[in-house]
Amino acid sequence: MGRSPCCEKAHTNKGAWTKEEDQRLVAYIKAHGEGSWRSLPNAAGLQRCGKSCRLRWINYLRPDLKRGNFTEEEDDLIIKLHQILGNKWSVIAGRLPGRTDNEIKNYWNTHIKRKLLARGIDPKTHRQLRAAASSPFSRPLDQLAAAACSSCSPETSGACHSSDDDCGGIDLNLSISPPRGPPSSSPSSLPTTEEA
DNA sequence: AACAGGTTCAACCGCTCATGA
DNA sequence: TTCATGAGCGGTTGAACCTGT
């Protein structure tokens, strides 16, 4: 209703990015830095929506991305952070260097959800599901969080974590910090499309 | 070898938030 | 204070890939 489209759809490509598009985007950001996503496509000679460019850069082309499998430590950290923060993927991603919100969101939906269900834990509430209470794998996340933080009880863990408490060796300072450094920090390490 | 069903993940969509005029 | 615009976020989709039969 009166909402202007984010870009001129008639002249924008959609779907998978080509190598050439990736190269153009990387080259442009290398030269001019991130930002001004709306005007970037024109400036970079891309037939793409600015949003699409931003997403492609953040989720795939950024040089500081880790990629590859998540470690057990990352798994646990995601679960704990999700218990505290809920579906704040961007904030969770901010605590996991080299990981993106989209990647974590996908990983949660495909792997961790299932893992928690197998343990008899509701992935939404992080509470024990009744039916699976006797699962040999069950270890209520409440207990996990409480064990990680001596000052937390299952009932109070949420409130506790809003401070700068260091729980279980995990820095849970949740103040919003830029999830990523300046793009110009190491342009030479930009991935080539061959790597992608 | 061929097919069906399941899984993964890149990308899109629509909404809210932040900012500046 | 209000409105317009751009940026960012979370939910969802669908094509590609994998696995079992």
Per-residue pLDDT, A89: 92
Specify whether A41 is located in the same domain as A96. no
Domain assignment of residue A53, given as a range: 9-63
pLDDT (average), residues A60-77 = 88
How far is residue A93's CA from residue A178's CA, in Å, rounded to a whole number? Answer: 10
Among residues A63, A84, A103, the one where a domain terminates is A63
Whether the model pTM is above 0.85: no
Specify whether A107 is located in the same domain as A155. yes
Is nucleic acid strand C under 7 Å from A91's C-beta?
A: yes
Specify whether A50 is located in the same domain as A141. no
**Structural domain includes residue A181:** no
Specify whether A57 is located in the same domain as A83. no
Q: Do A49 and A10 form a contact (C-beta atoms < 8 A)?
A: no
Å separating the CA of residue A102 from the C1' of nucleotide C15: 18
Residues 6 or more apart from A178 whose CB is under 8 A from it?
Answer: none
Q: What is the pLDDT of residues A157-181, one digit of tens each?
A: 333 343 333 344 455 454 434 433 3
Specify whether A55 is located in the same domain as A97. no
Give the CA diameter of chain A.
59
Å separating the CA of residue A4 from the C1' of nucleotide C3: 14
Q: What is the pLDDT of residues A59-68, one digit of tens each?
A: 999 888 888 8
| Chain B nucleotides with an atom closer than 7 Å to a protein C-beta | 7-15
**Structural domain includes residue A134:** yes
Specify whether A96 is located in the same domain as A166. yes
Å separating the CA of residue A151 from the C1' of nucleotide C13: 42
Specify whether A77 is located in the same domain as A158. yes
Q: Specify the number of domains making up chain A.
A: 2
Specify whether A50 is located in the same domain as A92. no
